[in-house]
């Protein structure tokens, strides 16, 4: 019989933990090697709900999941999807003050933008608001729609609904709240239709090959690579570099580090990089 902790958690054996960690790393590049308590804590209830008795039985369920529903639930449980508007504000200030003026001069009516690991959509909608603010009356002349991707169907569903609690928007300027958000009867807010139409949400695993018609002018991948080990991060940055257009920009989380020597990107500011032989002078 499977042992349980004093708190009612189903205990995970060394072999079971290795099985879970290897499965997640192999499929999604996520490093759980130091997350044993997280795995045990977040999956114990799921195992009970499924009427199973051990992590081994749960892994069999995952490996036999043909429809993808159980995998989706699993990913939702082990990944943390915490975000809010104006998070790491300096990126949006840089976008407004430096990146967009530069790109407007060097692009022809189209900007290709990717929010990778978009969580519940705050980042992507925030970018769309910046685009609207910057271009103003010129916006109709430009295609600045944003591709937003994540591995979690659950958070993408929330992103498409674009409904957020008040504390999610506390850092937005009051004028932006009035312009871009609609208050709902229950006290939440919803991003207005104009901004929602600017974002295209798709499920995507960053470990899969990148397929795109044209490279991207702006890529946000913030607070995503913290889940990966160094080898996986290096391989992922290589893929992002190839997917970045010449003179395009790449932004990572403030707590993340990029190996400048091997990445090919040029450093502009902490967590802000450019693919260019003659990078933007700020």
Say if residue 110 is in the same domain as residue 250. Answer: yes
Same domain, residue pair 56 and 108: no
Both tokens of 175, joined, read 């004028």
CATH number at residue 45: 1.10.155.10
129: nearest Cα among 91, 177, 161: 177
Residues 58 and 154 in one domain: no
Could you tell me which residues come within 8 angstroms of residue 222 by beta carbon, excluding any fewer than 6 positions away? 87, 88, 91, 117, 123, 251, 252, 253, 256, 271
pTM, two decimal places: 0.81
Tell me: do 74 and 99 sit in the same domain.
no
Same-domain check for residues 21 and 156: no
Q: Which residues are catalytic?
A: 42, 150
Q: Are 182 and 150 in contact (CB under 8 A)?
A: no
Number of structural domains found in the chain = 2
Domain co-membership, 55 together with 130:
no
pLDDT at 184 over 60: yes
Residues 95-145 have pLDDT tens digits of 999 999 999 999 999 999 999 999 899 999 999 999 999 999 999 999 999
Q: Is residue 160 one of the residues assigned to a domain?
A: yes
- Report pLDDT digits (tens) over 16-28: 999 999 998 888 8
Residue 100 CA to residue 228 CA, distance in Å, equals 30
* Same-domain check for residues 120 and 200: yes
Q: Are residues 143 and 35 in the same domain?
A: no
Determine the pLDDT at residue 56.
94
Q: What is the pLDDT of residues 41-96, one digit of tens each?
A: 889 989 999 999 899 999 999 998 877 778 878 877 777 655 768 788 899 999 99
Give the pLDDT confidence of 210-249 residue by residue, as tens digits: 999 999 999 999 988 888 888 999 999 999 999 999 999 9
70 and 99 assigned to the same domain: no
How far is 112 from 216, CA to CA, in rounded Å?
A: 5
Say if residues 233 and 207 touch (Cβ distance below 8 Å): no
| 8 A C-beta contact, residue 217 and residue 112 | yes
User: Can you give the residue range of the structural domain that contains 100?
Assistant: 89-274
In a domain, 30, yes or no: yes
Tokens coding 230: 């160094």
Note whether 121 and 259 are same-domain residues.
Answer: yes
Write the CA distances from 132 to 84, 126, 194, 195, integer angstroms: 19, 10, 10, 8
Q: What pLDDT was estimated at residue 5?
A: 45
Show which of 48, 78, 108 is a domain's final residue. Answer: 78
pLDDT reported for residue 80: 62
Structure-block tokens of residue 97: 């003050």
The confidence score (pLDDT) of residue 275 equals 97
């Amino acid at each position: 019989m499977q042992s349980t902790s004093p708190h009612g958690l189903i205990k995970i054996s060394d072999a079971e933990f290795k099985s879970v960690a290897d499965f997640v790393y192999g499929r999604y590049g996520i490093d759980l090697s130091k997350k044993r308590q997280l795995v045990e804590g977040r999956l114990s209830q799921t195992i009970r709900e499924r009427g199973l008795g051990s992590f081994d039985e749960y892994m069999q369920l995952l490996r036999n999941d043909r429809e993808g529903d159980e995998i989706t639930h699993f990913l939702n449980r082990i990944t943390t999807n915490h975000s809010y508007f104006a998070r790491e504000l300096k990126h949006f200030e840089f976008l407004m003050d430096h990146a967009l003026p530069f790109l407007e001069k060097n692009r022809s009516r189209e900007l290709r933008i990717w929010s990778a690991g978009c969580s519940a959509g705050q980042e992507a909608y925030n970018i769309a608001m910046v685009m609207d603010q910057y271009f103003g009356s010129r916006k109709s002349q430009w295609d600045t729609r944003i591709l937003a991707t994540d591995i979690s169907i659950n958070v993408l569903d929330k992103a498409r609904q674009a409904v957020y609690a008040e504390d999610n928007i506390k850092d937005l300027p009051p004028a932006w709240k009035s312009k871009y958000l609609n208050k709902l009867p229950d006290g939440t807010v919803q991003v207005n239709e104009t901004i929602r139409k600017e974002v295209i949400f798709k499920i995507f695993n960053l470990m899969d090959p990148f397929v795109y018609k044209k490279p991207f002018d702006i890529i946000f991948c913030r607070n995503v690579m913290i889940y990966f080990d160094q080898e996986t991060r290096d391989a992922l940055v290589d893929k992002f570099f190839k997917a970045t257009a010449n003179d395009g920009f790449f932004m990572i989380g403030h707590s993340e580090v990029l190996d400048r020597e091997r990445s090919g990107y040029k450093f502009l500011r902490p967590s802000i990089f450019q693919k260019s032989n003659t990078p933007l002078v700020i």
